[in-house]
Structure 1
Amino acid sequence: MVDKKISSELVYRSADTLSVLSIVLLAYFYPKTYDLNPYLVAGLGAALLFGFVGRFTEIYASWGGRPFMRDEGMRLVVTWLATFLLLIFIIFATKKSNEFSRLILISWLLITPIALISSRYLLRGLQSALKTLGLNNRSIAIAGVTRQSLRFAQTVDSHPEMGLQIAGFYTVTDQESSHIPSQYAHIGDLETMLEAARNGTWDQIYLSLPAGWSPLDNDIINRLADTMTPIRLIPDEFTKTILSSRPMEMMNTPLVRLYDEPLTGFSALIKRVEDIVVSLIILALIAPLLVMIAIAVKVSSPGPILFKQSRHGLRGEKFQVWKFRSMTVCENGASIKQATRNDVRITKVGAFLRRTSLDELPQFFNVLQGHMSIVGPRPHAVAHNEQYKQLIPGYMSRHAMKPGITGWAQVNGWRGETDTLYKMQKRVEYDLEYIQRWSLWLDLKIIFATAFKTLNDKNAY
């Protein structure tokens, strides 16, 4: 089967190389006369380094259907910063720094990420437009009519820019044909699907097994192994849990960690070092700001400067979280009302602090104490934990990791008042996804995203 998909990696690499080589143009148009050869060598070296670092940051992975700035754009910026620092180290190590203008290097540092993001954005838009027009698309078929496969089909239909066209459904059981939506064709049964997979009829086949049906019943997995068509599984809820869990081995027996400590050994050490280093740097930078906020809180309304409230930390242990007081009350009882928009309890200074998240700056001291992390599930009031653990399955699994000043749920828009159960469910969903996916890279991405999002967060009040 000939793959109809035009490889985008070569196009992206070419665009990235041109963006990185902007140093040559900067040197050429710089008013002073400079030898262009060192800049050309630096540009080509940076292009090679950028491609090498990009392998680790996965900037050439498939990004279809994922938010641009939150994922791809952020990785481009981090990749470029790492590339620039490596190149500067090489320039100074080889004692060639006198051959370069500092103004050109600084301009290069600032202009290149703009060029990288702009070119990627334009190329991504062009690719989406071509796919929307039906060019360079891939035909897919779905085997199995389940809630998960129908939801997947609806998502594909609502995103034509992904370049996927659904040919129809294969049925795994006889009862499924009546559940196929009218806009999709019934193109056969399981045996027909196997024949199509062997013949390469479709570019991809997505398998979604109904509840209670085992692939071993028809030896489906072994039979699909003899085909050349890419086969992808749409997991049910239990399979999704298995896939997101980590394997381990004990006494020569393979095991799967369904619910376990996500950070142990070296990973826990890395996160703790990250917390201490980042907290000390930030506290050193914001020390004058902390003093000014403390004075403003004290002068604006009667009451303490800091508000301390009980929270559940790692493994459910209680600790006192610190915030600048933003209300006229300091509730810490069995029943706590969440802050709402235009809440009369919020002071004028407190409204500004909450909108900009400045009220949470004292939590960096909680991080140094070891009760919190820079990034993690946001700590809820103890009263809210008691309420929601009865309503949301897996809610208390949030406490498998230290609570954070910011988190994956917050940068994805699930911050602020949870006035419906659905909002809290989505927050918990993102918290658990963060715990399962944790990496140092993910933490850095959330920290950068928080810095950009904080001043324009409509859910903060």
Structure 2
Amino acid sequence: MRPVVVERAILVVDAVLVVVSGIGCAVGYHVATAGTLGKTDVYAAASALVAINFVLLTTVQHGYRLKNITNLPRTFRMALTTWTGLFGALLAIAFTMKVSEEFSRGTTISFYLVGLAVLLAWKIVAARWTARALRTGAFANGRAIMIAEFGLATASNTVDDLGQHGYRLMQVMEIRPKDLASPLLLSQLAPRFEELIAYARENRVEHVFLLMNWSRQHAIDSILDALKILPIPVHLVPDPNAARFLRYPLVSTGNTFTAELRRAPLSWKERALKRTLDLVGASVALFVFAPVMLVTAILIKLSSKGPVFFRQTRHGFGGRAFKIFKFRTMRVLEDGPTIRQAQKNDPRVTPIGKWLRKTSIDELPQLFNVLKGDMSLVGPRPHAAAHNDEYEQIIGNYAFRHHVKPGITGWAQVNGYRGETRALELMKKRVEYDLWYINNWSIALDFRILLRTTLVGFRQHSAY
């Protein structure tokens, strides 16, 4: 059985369970309370809408990949946050469009609880079955052999990865480094190669994988020459040095493929598409969060002296300076050559400010920066001008972050690099994620980051 078939089957079962739960809860509730079936067609359509959105959101988070399916804690967290967030969003939309009266509260609540329980129970079954199948090699239908440099097969994850993606390693032939470096490799190991070829024929092997340092060109060519009698494909597995660069997008430049280590700036079409997303997204967000922002402004004004908004100089696209807007969370308004980051239990943070930072509500005024064009919804987080100048001197490629507009949220933030950077290594890691975002930008990636921000934005623990 192929892994992709299993992944799609689990996706389909998720969707079916959601639809059945929705219709079942609607019918059961109406029969129990009113003795009638109720608006079955309306609830069926609503259940299908919930199912489609749930599987799409889970797919975006890679929830249907085999390795993630077997990770029960992660699967449970993803199902719970996605299901809850989806219900909250759909109820808000239904209320805004004045169609919420079409659905009874009893049916909605029971659908939420029953649907979640059914999904979690199914996730347990799917995780256990998938884990057992991986252990027994049920997904490994492609018979393969590996020729590896001595020690590499056990030191890398290649063997496990191949097993989880449809290949069953029948045999591993290890070669010592000194033999690989020898110009007489073929003659020295001729009996072993003959034995391997006979084994491949007898067991109908379909693939050969080479796992060795790519600098061993003579050894690779010699092994290919020895295997030319076998009419099967030979795959060269990237060594650690090559794998580092092959993480970047591969681009065709004529007859040559290159790893695009640094992509060109966004084209005018890409900038227009990103700007459209920013304008629409920021406008909708301001409309949705206007009541929250109003209440926040009142609480800030009542709880401490000072302005409602905090403005600070940051560097944006091309290194140009702009003033960022945030809700004031401190008793000080630092904006100069010396700025101290907020720390845990920082006495400068007001009581209401601590809560605003934890929930990220203090960032909402940056929606005005997005409308002005200084920022984007998604991009590298801008740092205070003083910190920006400091990091440019000590972190290589730091300035490359200015090749796109800074964002309210970013790839680094949804991967946990948010808040105080107590050590230089934390900032280097954040910059690494920012550069990956710039080199791999797409509108789909922006949507993915926005989705993950809504799912994890209110349970960050590193913002003080």
TM-score (norm 1): 0.71
Stretch deviating more after TM superposition (125-134 or 362-371): 125-134
1:407 aligns with 2:410: yes
Aligned twin of 1:245: 249
User: For residues 71 and 228 of structure 1, what CA distance do their matches in structure 2 show?
Assistant: 43
1:314 aligns with 2:317: yes
User: For residues 63 and 56 of structure 2, what CA distance do their matches in structure 1 show?
Assistant: 11
Cα distance change on mapping 1:194 and 1:457 into 2, 3 Å: farther
User: For residues 304 and 9 of structure 2, what CA distance do their matches in structure 1 show?
Assistant: 61
Map residues 27-426 of structure 1 onto 2, 5 A cutoff: 27-29=26-28, 30-31=30-31, 32-34=35-37, 62-65=65-68, 68=74, 73=79, 102-103=103-104, 110=112, 114=116, 117-118=119-120, 121-131=123-133, 134=136, 136=138, 138=140, 144=148, 152-153=156-157, 156=160, 170-171=174-175, 173-174=177-178, 207-210=210-213, 212-214=215-217, 218=221, 228=232, 231=235, 233-234=237-238, 236-237=240-241, 239-245=243-249, 247=251, 257-261=260-264, 263-426=266-429
Aligned twin of 1:92: none
Other structure's SS at 2:266 match: coil
Deviation at 1:313, TM superposition (A): 1.6
> Which letter maps to 2:380?
P
Report Cα offsets for 1:31-55 as digits up to 9, x if no partner.
2434999589869987997899799
Cα distance change on mapping 1:243 and 1:286 into 2, 3 Å: closer
Other structure's SS at 2:374 match: coil
Question: Are the aligned partners of 2:310 and 2:326 in contact in 1 as well (CA < 8 Å)?
Answer: yes
> Which letter maps to 1:279?
A
Report Cα offsets for 1:115-169 as digits up to 9, x if no partner.
6742552244213542576463759876555999776439959xx9999998767
Report Cα offsets for 1:337-374 as digits up to 9, x if no partner.
22211122222222222122121111111111111111
Aligned twin of 2:185: none
Deviation at 1:457, TM superposition (A): 1.5
Pairwise CA RMSD of aligned residues? 5.2
Question: Are the aligned partners of 1:57 and 1:75 in contact in 2 as well (CA < 8 Å)?
Answer: no
Stretch deviating more after TM superposition (404-413 or 26-35): 26-35
Aligned twin of 1:21: 20
> Which letter maps to 1:241?
F
Cα distance change on mapping 1:418 and 1:115 into 2, 3 Å: same
Which segments of 5 or more consecutive residues in structure 2 lack a partner in the other structure?
Answer: 182-190
Other structure's SS at 2:157 match: helix
Percent of residue pairs identical: 29
> Which letter maps to 1:326?
T
Other structure's SS at 1:320 match: strand
User: For residues 289 and 37 of structure 2, what CA distance do their matches in structure 1 show?
Assistant: 41
Cα distance change on mapping 1:136 and 1:438 into 2, 3 Å: same
> Which letter maps to 2:334?
E
Report Cα offsets for 1:301-320 as digits up to 9, x if no partner.
44433222222222333222
Q: For this pair of structures, how many residues does the alignment match?
A: 432
Other structure's SS at 2:290 match: helix
User: For residues 272 and 298 of structure 1, what CA distance do their matches in structure 2 show?
Assistant: 33
> Which letter maps to 2:441?
W
User: For residues 415 and 425 of structure 1, what CA distance do their matches in structure 2 show?
Assistant: 12
> Which letter maps to 2:245?
T
Question: Are the aligned partners of 2:148 and 2:172 in contact in 1 as well (CA < 8 Å)?
Answer: no
Aligned twin of 1:93: none
User: For residues 452 and 363 of structure 2, what CA distance do their matches in structure 1 show?
Assistant: 17
TM-score (norm 2): 0.70
Cα distance change on mapping 1:3 and 1:48 into 2, 3 Å: closer
Which segments of 5 or more consecutive residues in structure 1 lack a partner in the other structure?
Answer: 89-96, 178-187
Question: Are the aligned partners of 1:207 and 1:234 in contact in 2 as well (CA < 8 Å)?
Answer: no
Deviation at 1:256, TM superposition (A): 5.7
Deviation at 1:284, TM superposition (A): 1.8
Cα distance change on mapping 1:384 and 1:199 into 2, 3 Å: farther
Other structure's SS at 2:432 match: helix
Cα distance change on mapping 1:244 and 1:369 into 2, 3 Å: same
Cα distance change on mapping 1:111 and 1:162 into 2, 3 Å: farther
> Which letter maps to 1:136?
A
Cα distance change on mapping 1:191 and 1:407 into 2, 3 Å: farther
Stretch deviating more after TM superposition (390-399 or 131-140): 131-140
Stretch deviating more after TM superposition (225-234 or 390-399): 225-234
> Which letter maps to 1:423?
L
> Which letter maps to 2:433?
Y
User: For residues 449 and 4 of structure 1, what CA distance do their matches in structure 2 show?
Assistant: 25
Question: Are the aligned partners of 2:315 and 2:382 in contact in 1 as well (CA < 8 Å)?
Answer: yes
User: For residues 391 and 216 of structure 1, what CA distance do their matches in structure 2 show?
Assistant: 41
Deviation at 1:259, TM superposition (A): 1.3
User: For residues 439 and 229 of structure 2, what CA distance do their matches in structure 1 show?
Assistant: 30
Deviation at 1:264, TM superposition (A): 2.3
Cα distance change on mapping 1:13 and 1:195 into 2, 3 Å: farther
Aligned twin of 1:94: none
> Which letter maps to 2:368?
F
Report Cα offsets for 1:243-286 as digits up to 9, x if no partner.
52352658x98766431246324333222111111111121222
User: For residues 152 and 432 of structure 2, what CA distance do their matches in structure 1 show?
Assistant: 17
> Which letter maps to 1:340?
Q
